Amino acid sequence: MEPLLAICAGIALAAASGFRVFVPMLALGSAARSNVINPSAGLEWVESIPALVVFGTATVAEIAAYYVPWVDNALDTVTTPGSVVAGSLAAAAAMGDLDPAIKWTLAIVAGGGAAAVVQGGTVLTRMLSSATTGGVGNPAVSTGEAAGSIVLSILAIVVPLLAAALVILLIGWVVRLFVRWRRRRVTPAL
């Protein structure tokens, strides 16, 4: 994969980790196993059968757990740091043979940062859903997040430039959502 496409794919996979931690890792491992992506040296293990079994099992468990009331909110506490780590790792693996200093800087800053922003958006969305619907709306939020992770992971592999453009739009939307939420919290009641 060309360096620009590999960077776009890596950052998009990292952002998808903000929705669900294991979906992008499963997509990355499957793409590597199919020779669509050549993982970076030292990260070839993502395409191994044991890794794919673990990623597949963890994906099913993670998606299912987000449909259990109160567990979904508790999972956000665990998956927030996990999404940053998985996002950084997925980005580094997808970036192939870039110079290690460039690859790891981009993976940690851009990949981990994209995962953190997207995860922050999901936490905020779930918090607002829990507060306004008493948790009744959370399954719809979970469905949207799972779909977002699956679609973004596939696009990252198939059409990395489009996926990267969507990540930029997504990050802009999350920042805007956070700013609006913050203004409402800070604005004094009259």
Whether 189 has a pLDDT exceeding 70, the answer reads no
71 pLDDT above the threshold of 60: yes
- Residue 182: pLDDT above 90? no
pLDDT in tens, 72-111: 888 888 899 999 999 999 999 999 889 999 999 999 999 9
Q: Which range is least confidently modeled, 17-26, 134-143, 151-160, 173-182?
A: 173-182
pTM exceeds cut of 0.85: yes
pLDDT digits (tens, 9 = 90+) for 125-153: 988 898 999 889 999 999 999 999 999 99
Q: Which amino acid is at 90?
A: A
Q: What was the pLDDT predicted at 183?
A: 86
* Per-residue confidence (pLDDT) for residue 49, from 0 to 100: 98
Which pLDDT belongs to residue 188? 66
Q: Is the dihedral of CA 97, 98, 99, 101 positive or negative?
A: negative
Whole-number Cα distances in Å, 124 to 13, 27, 46, 69, 147: 21, 26, 31, 16, 18
Residue with tokens 């200093």: 101
- pLDDT over threshold 60, residue 190: no
**Looking at residue 46, what DSSP letter applies?**
G
**CB burial of residue 137 (10 Å; 0-12, 13-18, 19+):** middle
